[in-house]
């Protein structure tokens, strides 16, 4: 195992010597696998070289400044040096906290996307798979590193430990909060976000002890929108332990408590789902595992949303390509009705589902005010058999004939 020594040629190495030493490490790393050392020897070599570099330049930012002439923005470091520091952050060692903080100080802005991609691929390398990963909290419960710096390099370990504390409910969350004084501002902000997201995804009641502990960190609008996002993601999941009714109540319970402006912001998550589901993202419009439950469940959501001023038909029409720049009008409604309804549930796609649900929940008074022709009223009658629509059809011979045919199943 060769020793990679920054000072092998001079006690005051030049940038070129730094690059050369880093290249020696990388060349050895990617060289003949039969000649590779044991993984722990390799990691030790990276740690020693990284300590030499930081000892000489005092910070990774200074290294980046010295080597800036070799990089094209947003690249921060040449790969020869980046790899040394990434391998120096793989396992526990006395200088790991310093290494993580230095890498975070340089790369924490997230602009160098290639560096982050390298981190994700690095930890999946076969030779590193069996190396025990560092933990943010030690076995004695002591916080060992800054969470933000740690999460960039060891995201899976970070997520697992935070989730473990969260699953321990109020006691676990209180433990994290007790460590806030030891965290820097960026780490506290990250932890606020991580804990809040877990609350938003949960079904915790308003008086749950965890919610009470985190009350000053929770955003009602984000909370509400997350409830609707989860509701839609579970819409046709018949195995969902919570059940659609409970999720529906959970979502609207918060809406009912919010001021009008915030309630509207929360309900905009329905628009997000409409846009997403009615858009072909390259693989066709989304379909469902259990299509027979979809439209009734969408109707249940939209009926509740209507009481807060949500206009389902207008929002759906806005996401039909040929109607996107128009205000909802008679012609648009007629076009939607002309498209018909899916009679085979296994052919139902998300766009069809939203159109039918929106047409169903719209008040009959609106349709009657448009003066729709009998053929369109007949189409509407298939999904919205109301006295008003029937009465409108009975005013013409054609309408009466349509009603008779429909009632006879013709």
| Mean pLDDT of all residues belonging to the chain | 92
- Structure confidence at residue 398 (pLDDT): 74
pLDDT digits (tens, 9 = 90+) for 162-217: 999 999 999 999 999 999 999 999 999 999 999 999 999 999 999 999 999 999 99
Residues 275, 317: contact at Cβ < 8 Å?
no
pLDDT at 38: 84
- Angle, CA 384 vertex, CA 337 and CA 232 arms, to 5°: 80
**Residues 6 or more apart whose Cβ sits within 8 Å of residue 10:** 17
Give the percent of the chain with pLDDT over 90. Answer: 75
Q: Among 8-17, 75-84, 155-164, 252-261, which stretch is predicted with the lowest mean pLDDT?
A: 8-17
Q: Where are the domains of the chain?
A: 15-132, 134-217, 219-362, 368-409
Q: Does the structure show a pLDDT above 70 at 408?
A: no
What does the pLDDT look like over 334-372, one tens digit per residue? 999 999 898 898 999 999 999 999 999 999 999 999 999
H/E element holding 48? helix 39-57
pLDDT at position 328 is 84
Q: What is the mean pLDDT of residues 321-343?
A: 82
Paired tokens of 307: 């009481």
More confident residue, 74 or 283: 74
Average pLDDT over residues 375-389: 91
Task: Report cis status (omega within 30 of 0) of the bond before 74.
Answer: yes
Average pLDDT on 325-334 reads 83
CA-based nearest residue to 42, from 24, 55, 60, 58: 24
pLDDT at 36 over 90: no
Whether the pLDDT of residue 33 is over 60: the answer is no
* In 145-293, alpha helices (H): 147-153, 155-167, 169-178, 185-201, 209-213, 220-233, 244-257, 260-277
Residue 247 neighbours by CB under 8 Å, 6+ apart: 203, 227, 230, 231, 234, 240
CA angle 385, 390, 391 (to 5 degrees): 150
Q: CB neighbours of 16 closer than 8 A, spacing ≥ 6?
A: none
d(CA 251, CA 115): 39
Q: What is the pLDDT of residue 35?
A: 61
Give the chain's end-to-end CA distance (angstroms, integer).
85
Q: Using the predicted structure, report yes or no on whether residue 1 has a pLDDT greater than 70.
A: no
Residue 269 has pLDDT above 60, yes or no: yes
């Amino acid at each position: 195992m060769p020793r990679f020594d920054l000072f092998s040629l001079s006690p005051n190495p030049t940038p070129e010597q730094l690059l050369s030493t880093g290249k020696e490490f990388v060349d050895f790393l990617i060289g003949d696998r039969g000649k590779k050392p044991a993984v722990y020897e390799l990691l030790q070599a990276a740690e020693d070289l990284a300590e030499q570099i930081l000892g000489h330049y005092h910070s990774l930012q200074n290294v980046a400044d010295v080597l800036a002439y070799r990089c094209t923005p947003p690249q921060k470091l040449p790969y020869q040096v980046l790899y040394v520091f990434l391998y120096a952050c793989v396992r526990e060692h006395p200088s790991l906290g310093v290494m993580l903080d230095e890498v975070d100080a340089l790369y924490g802005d997230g602009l160098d996307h290639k560096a982050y991609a390298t981190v994700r691929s690095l930890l999946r390398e076969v030779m590193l798979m069996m190396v025990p990963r560092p933990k943010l909290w030690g076995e004695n419960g002591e916080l060992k590193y800054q969470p933000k710096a740690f999460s960039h390099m060891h995201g899976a370990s970070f997520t697992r430990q935070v989730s473990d504390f969260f699953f321990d409910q109020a006691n676990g969350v209180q433990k994290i909060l007790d460590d806030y004084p030891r965290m820097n501002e960026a780490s506290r902000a990250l932890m606020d976000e991580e804990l809040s997201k877990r609350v938003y995804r949960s079904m915790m009641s308003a008086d749950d002890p965890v919610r009470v502990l985190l009350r000053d960190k929770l955003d009602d609008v984000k909370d509400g929108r997350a409830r609707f996002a989860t509701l839609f993601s579970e819409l046709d999941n018949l195995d969902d332990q919570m059940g659609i009714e409970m999720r529906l109540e959970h979502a609207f319970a918060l809406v009912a408590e919010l001021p009008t402006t915030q309630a509207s912001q929360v309900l905009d998550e329905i628009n997000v789902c409409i846009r997403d589901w009615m858009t072909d993202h390259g693989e066709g419009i989304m379909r469902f595992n259990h299509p027979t439950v979809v439209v009734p469940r969408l109707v249940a959501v939209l009926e509740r949303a209507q009481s807060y001023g949500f206009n389902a038909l207008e929002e759906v029409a806005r996401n039909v390509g040929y109607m996107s720049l128009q205000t909802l009008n008679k012609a648009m409604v007629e076009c939607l009705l002309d498209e018909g309804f899916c009679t085979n549930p296994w052919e139902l796609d998300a766009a069809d589902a939203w159109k039918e649900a929106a047409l169903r929940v719209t008040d009959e008074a609106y349709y009657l005010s448009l003066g729709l022709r009998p053929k369109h009223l007949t189409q509407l009658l298939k999904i919205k058999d109301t006295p008003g629509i029937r009465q409108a059809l009975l005013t013409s011979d054609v309408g009466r004939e349509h009603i008779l045919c429909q009632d006879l199943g013709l």
